[in-house]
Amino acid sequence: MASQILAAAAGRTAAAARRQAVSLTDAAASRIRQLLEQRQRSYLKLGVKARGCNGLSYTLNYADDKGKFDELVEDKGVKILIDPKALMHVIGTKMDFVDDKLRSEFIFINPNSKGQCGCGESFMTTGSTGATKQSSP
Amino acid sequence: MAPRTLILHRLTAHFAGRIRQNQRLLSSHFYSSTALEEAPSSSSSSSSPNLDGVYMTDTCVQKMKQLQASEAQEKLLRLSVETGGCSGFQYVFDLVDDKTNPDDRVFEKEGVKLVVDNISYDFLKGATVDYVEELIRSAFQVTENPSAVQGCSCKSSFMVKL
C-alpha cells in the first residue's frame, strides 16, 4: 500500500520535474502558439548544436511528430519537444520572446550556461562541476 | 626568378591602387554609395573591386522602409562596433533620429540611410548589412565583413583581421 503511494508520488514528481525542464514566458508561449497555428505544424522542437564561439547554440525547428526519445514539455498550453541530446543542456532554461523594432527573437535564460556570446546564441554548460554561475550578457 | 618579379609587379600595382583609394577616401568627409560608384576598380590583380562602403541588401532596405512607415520622424539605422562578444568585437544596431555627428558616414540606398561612426567605419569597410529572418530570430545582421575573421557564427561578434 505504502509502496504504491510512494511509487505514485514518485511518478508525479518525475512528471512534474519533466514538465519544468524548460519553462516558457507568456510572450514565448503566445508567439509559439501563433507560429504553430500559422504554419499548421504540431510542435516546435528545441535542440542544441555544437557551434558558435562558445560551445553550443540553440536550434528551433518545426516538428510534426514526437520522436521516440523526444521530451515533450507543456507549459502555458503550448507543447514543445526537446531533442534528447539537448535535454541535459537545457534543463531549467526559461524561454522568452523579445520583440522590438530592430529584432524579434527567442531568447534562452539558461542557469547552466557558463558563458554567453553577445547575441546569447552560443553558450557553454558546465559538466558535472557542481555550482554554475550565469555570466552577465 | 621570372615568377617572383611577376608577383612583385602585381603586388606593387595592388598596393598602388589601394594607396590611391585611401587617398580618395581621406580627401572627402561625406560618403554615399553614389560617390563610391565613381571610384573605378583599382587593381587588376584582385578579382572583385574592394569598394569600401557599407552596403545594405534589398531585404534590409525593405525592412527599414517598413519601420519608417510607422514612424513620424525620419529614422536612420545606426551600426556601430563595440568591444565585447566572444570574439572581441560586436555589432550593435540602433534606430536613431536624423541627427548625425559631423564625422559620421552615411550610406544611402533607395532613401534608406545607414549611419556609421568614424571609428566603427574602420571595422566595417566593404561590409554588408542584411535583415535575416529565421524561426529563432529575425534581426539585422552584418552578413559579410571583409575586415573580420568570421568569429562568431551567430554573426553578432567578430575578430578583426590583422
Residues B98-147: tens digit of each pLDDT: 888 899 999 999 999 999 999 999 999 999 999 999 999 999 999 888 88
CA B33 and chain centroid, separation:
11
Write down the CATH number for the domain with range B55-160.
Answer: 2.60.300.12
Out of B137, B139, B156, name the one closest to residue A117 (CB). B156
Cα angle for residues A62, A65, A71 (degrees, 5° grid): 85
Cβ pair A118:B90 closer than 8 A: yes
Rounded distance, CA B78 to CA B75, Å? 9
The complex's ipTM? 0.71
Residues A80-126: tens digit of each pLDDT: 999 999 998 899 999 999 999 899 999 999 887 776 655 555 566 65
Residues B23-63: tens digit of each pLDDT: 665 655 444 444 444 444 444 444 445 578 999 999 999 99
Identify whether the C-beta of residue A82 lies closer than 8 Å to the C-beta of residue A74. no
Which domains are assigned to chain A?
22-109 (2.60.300.12)
Domain boundaries defined on chain B: 55-160
Q: Can you give the pTM of this predicted structure? A: 0.67
Rounded distance, CA A29 to CA A21, Å? 15
3-class secondary-structure state, position B134:
coil
Chain B residue nearest residue A136, CA to CA: B85
Of B53, B108, B51, residue with least CA distance to B77: B108
Cβ pair B139:A115 closer than 8 A: no
Out of A61, A62, A119, name the one closest to residue B154 (CB). A119
User: Cell 556609421 belongs to which residue?
Assistant: B116
